[in-house]
A and B are shown apart, each in its own frame.
Chain A
Amino acid sequence: MLPMFDYLKPRSLDDALALIATTPKAFPIAGGTNLLVDVRSGKVQPEALVEVGFLDELCGIRKEGGEIVIGAGTTIAELLSDPMIESQLPVLHAASTTFANTLIRNRATIGGNLANNAPCADTAPALLVLDASVELASVRGKRSIKLEEFLTSPFETVRAVDELILAVRVSVPPRAAIGRFRKMGLRKISCMAKVDVAVLLDFNSEGICVDARIAMGAASPVARRAVDAEATLVGNPLHPERIRRAADQTAQAAVPRPGSEYKQQVVRSMVTKLLDDIAREGGDRRG
């Protein structure tokens, strides 16, 4: 059985924030697919769980100007079935299709995935290339923080114990931008990534890359962008030589655990494949 804890269901966001702030060892719970596993194993020992997934402020996906705001309590299944995500954030949609499995997707939330910050969190690389910000709230107020800064070390984030993730905010990439995601695990579904990679590239009408973002997960202690590789691509057409260099640089930016050095090779290959695809598609688009 799970160890004892209290369960608190707040009436409002303010109520929830107050409960989290004042109850010792209180953890917010929404989908619970990470948290309950950690509670069961003893990795997390809460005295209380505070239900947050149902709060209005954490629900729904909405567009605000050029940005999309995804409530932290949005389940992966909701992400997958949202037409706006599919059409405007295809890289996140693609990452969601590889997330755990069908049953888990109905419970697991995007906020939970980021709060847990497993090195292999599937939404992290996709959100990194979307330049996502995490919106946090506490009784002390609200703040917004870049996802790169939010994810600090494995299973650690900058979220203070009294803070709650309200939403993830991303700017919608330009229409011409192309996003891609790829995951490798020991099996095809329902497993932790060995490596996952997300890329998002934007080109001008001459086919010059004007913005490049590459992120990888599971190949380093924390999901991270490969800034050198991005710089290699920006300002140039997506030629094979550039792709090779960017792939090498991404691989070099990976910091796999000792014994898992092969992951650098996997990163190199996955980046190459994704960029090759984009190069082909870009060529097709321009006819």
Chain B
Amino acid sequence: MLEHVTPKPLPDVDLPTLKQVGKPLRRVDALGKAVGATVYAADFAMPNMLHAKVFRSPFPSARIAKLDVETARALPGVACVMTGEDTHGAKLNTDLPGQTGRAARAGSDAPVLASDIVRYVGEPIALVAAESIAIAEQALRLIEVEFEELPAVFDPEDALRPDAPILFEPDNVVAKYAIRKGDLAAGMADADLVVENTFTMPFIEHAYLEPDAGVAWVDEQGVINIRVCTQVVEHFRSIARALNVPQNKIRIRGTMVGGGFGSKEDVTVEIFLAFLARETGRPVKLEYTREEAFAATSKRHPFVVTHRTGVKKDGRITASEIKMVADSGAYPYLTPYVLLYATGMAAGPYKVDNLHVDSVAAATNQTFTSAFRGFGGPQAALGYEQQMDEIAKTLGLDSLEVRRINYLKRGETTTTGQEVKSAAWSEECATRAVHALGDRAPSTETRRIGRGMASYFQSYGRIMWFHDTSQAWVGLEQDGTVVLRCGVPDIGAGQSNSICQIAAELLGVPLERVTIYSTDSAVTPLAGTSTATRQLYMSGNAVTLACNEIRSRLLKRASESLGVAEEALDLGESRVFAISDSSKAIDLPDLAKLCASEGIGLSHLAQFNAPFTDGLDPETGQGDIWPDFTFGAHAVELAVDTETGEIELLKSAACHDVGRAINPAAVRGQICGGSHQGLGYALMEDFELKDGYIQTPSFAEYLIPTVLDFPTTDAIILESGTGVGPFGAKGIGEPALTPAAPAVANAVADALGVRIHDLPLTPKRILDAVQRSGRKDDGTAE
């Protein structure tokens, strides 16, 4: 399987040659970070600053029978202790307009501080601000609290049973969707064979290196300033709502984020800081410990995914019935949307005309789940891609061949009936990823080589009925340098660099001449969240609009000076020049001064609006959800030691059509980094809870890949130029992760001859599977 694959030739594409875009330039943020000059959230201090700590629930389900903070308040050096009473029962509203899950979520938003019931270990109950961390910690120990333990539920399927303890009335359903496309019964009747499998996947921790942190203070205008590492500047609105202050009295000053991956999409420390700064009138700092960052922030949703697929003997899918059960943990947060993403991508990059998807997310007394790179897409892919291999195996066909005849093509429709309007290079990517593995290593009796691949499709840009927008302000200074103001949070993926590189391209200056101010809700135009693989698409387009406006003003004025038509001019190397005769030119500083003296403005604020649509059809789940999709594939070769259960990853190759690589080095970084997270998902990561108690509280127990675990992924970058981002770019941030884990799972199944249906693929599970396959080989019953 998966050998001697010849890559399918690429369709012709016509990509214009550009000056700055498409080059692996040194990122604008790189040197400051490399020399340690970047001031992260925890690196900042204010005079007269207090230090905060959070008192958290030690129980997964309990009533707070008594909460007495008077002794803690009386401790010298304690500035304030706040409880749910002091926050007036404020809640963290998830600030997303538009359609939510079908089940009502009213009343189920997480309280800022629990005052009656606690629903997971780590739930915040009280806040302390003190003169030092040591005093704050001592005050935590002086908080007197009594709990009455309550019945609890720790499994989403249990939570849906009628006798389950209810986290929120009327039931534990947090979200529920149904897709009804075509005629399932007819499709199944038409099938030669029906293949059914159930796959599970665990909680996963984001494990960003920078624990959540921030500093807040109230300024002379009464504005609560919060300097925080966040993916979402716009949370100032939910914070204002929780504090009951006007929205223009909360200012989020985002920092360079030391990794987010979706976890810093939720409100974390900033809400506590806002309350404490207002209460004390002093600057307050809150830094989570690593253990707190694990216990008190979201996780990737565990899913149980069942595929029942009707297929013809040649592998063609005639019908598919998919069920998904997701674990929401104790509070909904972004669960309804994560489940919607998983549901809307449930059938994968395949043409499935007769399709039912039924998905549900249930509340349990465990750490809450929310956004994590891929946002339900990776769980969906672990379902459809393992199922594709099982179909191929059942039919005795090559797994790539089964995929090939089912791949969605441009113009065909996805799970929700949305037409794919850009290039759908599934086959181009799959064949290249597999080809890159080269020759297969030989197996021995106890060291079995396996190969696996996985295709995927993944949205970029937010759900279109969120009516997403981004703004950017671009100005050309009189010395020809460029200033960019854009509220894009940079979470390490090169968000700010990409838009700088676009501005450099369009305004004809070297990248070093562009300076960006980002992530300040008061002074940078709001650019929306650094989530959903949307910043290059949204803010890239906003910057493009702003730059093009300035560019046209420059060309118009230069045209007058040079006596050359605007269309015959270009910008580059900090000058405007005639394309036919580059000696006819005017330097940008001269042109900028000329414009200034004549009152021609060289700054512009632009807004990019994504397409706006309505929600899905409530009966059929059909409709358009996302602006566009990225397609790609991942392939791996690995060795399984059938005696020890060890897995050695030998080769890893990923191929993605990124539309256009604005900075190929950054794209490679996304692909290699995303795939490593996916490989860890498959092979070692498991945020384990036992009866609601965390078993993997730190980096000593929760293991993420080190530099020695896996070879570097061979990143193959294709450019169809057909994306809806600037210069035809698609998104790659989330897609990079999605296919890696199913590729590994398929390779292990290939090596062993049996499928392990649960992640991660630990030595223990491998040895169990070897035993199963051994029994099969003997012909004895399982």
Contact = CB atoms under 8 A, between A and B. Distances in A.
B609 interface: no
B137 A184 contact: no
Contacts of A262: 645, 763-764, 767-768
A186 interface: yes
A187 B710 CA distance: 10
Contacts of B763: 184, 186, 194, 262, 266
A269 B133 contact: no
A189 interface: yes
A194 B137 CA distance: 35
Nearest to A268: B643
A270 B763 CA distance: 13
B261 to A, nearest CB: 19
B100 interface: no
Interface in B697-720: 700, 703, 705-706, 708-709
B134 interface: yes
A101 B706 contact: yes
B645 A266 contact: yes
B706 A269 contact: no
A265 B684 contact: no
B767 A265 contact: yes
A187 B684 contact: yes
B288 to A, nearest CB: 14
Given A1-B134, A1-B137, A269 B703 contact: no
A213 to B, nearest CB: 21
Contacts of A37: 700
A44 interface: no
Contacts of B446: 269
B157 interface: no
Specify which of A195, A262, A265, A266 lies most central, judged by the most chain B CB atoms within 10 Å of its CB: A262
A184 B768 contact: no
B762 interface: yes
Interface in B750-782: 762-764, 767-768
A260 B645 CA distance: 13
A273 B762 CA distance: 20
A270 B706 contact: no
Nearest to B642: A269
Contacts of B684: 186-187
Interface string A97-138: 000010000000000000000000000000000000000000
A188 interface: yes
A270 B644 contact: yes
B136 to A, nearest CB: 9
Nearest to A270: B644
A190 B134 contact: no
Given A37-B700, A260-B764, A188 B644 contact: no
Size range of the chain A interface in the assembly:
20 to 34
Contacts of A36: none
A273 B644 CA distance: 10
Given A1-B134, A262-B763, A187 B703 contact: yes
B292 interface: no
A191 interface: yes
A186 B764 CA distance: 10
Contacts of A186: 684, 703, 762-763
A191 B762 CA distance: 14
Contacts, number: 52
B644 A266 contact: yes
A190 B699 CA distance: 10
A183 B645 CA distance: 13
Interface residues of B, number: 21
B552 to A, nearest CB: 55
Contacts of A189: 706, 708-709
- Mostly, the A contact residues are mixed
A140 B446 CA distance: 55
Contacts of B703: 186-187, 191
B764 A188 contact: no
A184 B766 CA distance: 14
Contacts of A184: 644, 646, 763
B696 to A, nearest CB: 11
B767 A190 contact: no
B29 to A, nearest CB: 26
A180 to B, nearest CB: 15
A237 B606 CA distance: 82
Interface in A186-207: 186-192, 194-195
A68 to B, nearest CB: 29
Interface string A257-287: 0001010011011101100000000000000
Contact of B706 (A1, A187, A265, A273): A187
Contacts of B133: 1
A21 B350 CA distance: 73
A82 B386 CA distance: 50
Contacts of B708: 187-189
B702 to A, nearest CB: 10
Contacts of A260: 764
A266 B684 CA distance: 18
B137 A269 contact: no
Given A1-B137, A186-B684, A262-B767, A269 B709 contact: no
A168 B645 CA distance: 34
Contacts of B705: 187
A188 B709 contact: yes
Contacts of B646: 184
Nearest to B641: A269
Contact of A265 (B137, B643, B709): B643
Given A186-B684, A187-B709, A189-B708, A269 B700 contact: no
Interface string B621-650: 000000000000000000001011110000
A195 B643 CA distance: 13
Interface in B169-206: none
Contacts of B764: 260, 262
Interface string B418-446: 00000000000000000000000000001
A189 B708 CA distance: 7
A129 B644 CA distance: 22
A184 B648 CA distance: 12
11 contacts: A187-B703, A188-B706, A190-B706, A191-B703, A262-B763, A265-B645, A266-B643, A266-B645, A269-B643, A270-B644, A273-B643
Given A184-B644, A192-B700, 8 more contacts: A1-B134, A186-B684, A187-B684, A187-B705, A189-B706, A262-B767, A266-B644, A269-B641
Rank and list the top 10 A-B pairs by shortest CB-CB distance, nearest first.
Answer: A269-B643, A188-B708, A189-B708, A262-B767, A262-B764, A269-B644, A266-B644, A188-B709, A186-B684, A187-B709
